[in-house]
Amino acid sequence: MKSIENQASVSGSAFAVHLESTEKPPSTHNFLFGIWRLSDPKISMASISAMFLGACAAAAQGQIDWRWLLVSVIGILSLEAAKNASGEIFDYNSGTDLAITEEDRSPFSGGKRVIVDGLMTRQQTFLAATIFYLLGISAGLVIVIMHEPRVLAIGFAGVFLAFFYNAPPVNLSYRGFGEIAVAAVYGPLICCGTYLVLRRDFGIVPFLLSIPLGILIATFLVINEFPDRKADQDAGKNNLVVLLGVKKAGQLFLLMVITANAFILILPLAGLPLTVWFGLAGLPFGLAASRRVFEHKGTSFLIPAQSWTLLSFILAAFGLGIGLLV
**What is the rounded CA–CA span in Å between residue 28 and residue 21?**
16
Taking 60 as the threshold, does the pLDDT of residue 23 lie above it?
A: no
Least confident of 20-24, 28-32, 89-93, 280-284: 20-24
The mean per-residue pLDDT over the stretch 207-212 comes to 97
- Measuring CA to CA, which residue among 69, 36, 238 is closest to residue 143? 69
26 pLDDT band, cuts 50/70/90, is very low
Tell me the residue length of the chain. Answer: 326
Q: What is the pLDDT of residue 111?
A: 80
Taking the CA atoms of the chain, what radius of gyration do you get in angstroms? 19
CATH (domain of 7): 1.10.600
Residue 207 — left, alpha, or beta (φ > 0 → left; ψ -120 to 50 → alpha)? alpha
**What is the rounded CA–CA span in Å between residue 182 and residue 190?**
11
Using the 8-state DSSP alphabet, how is residue 275 labeled?
G
Q: What is the pLDDT of residue 16?
A: 47
17 pLDDT band, cuts 50/70/90, is very low
In this prediction the pTM is 0.88
Helices (H), the chain: 2-21, 31-39, 41-59, 66-94, 122-146, 151-163, 178-184, 190-199, 204-225, 229-234, 240-244, 246-266, 283-295, 299-325
Instruction: Specify the number of domains making up the chain.
Output: 1
Write out the residue range of the structural domain in which residue 256 sits: 2-325
pLDDT tens digits for 110-168?
888 899 989 999 999 999 999 999 999 999 999 999 999 999 999 999 999 999 998 98
The mean per-residue pLDDT over the stretch 76-93 comes to 93
Using the 8-state DSSP alphabet, how is residue 279 labeled?
G
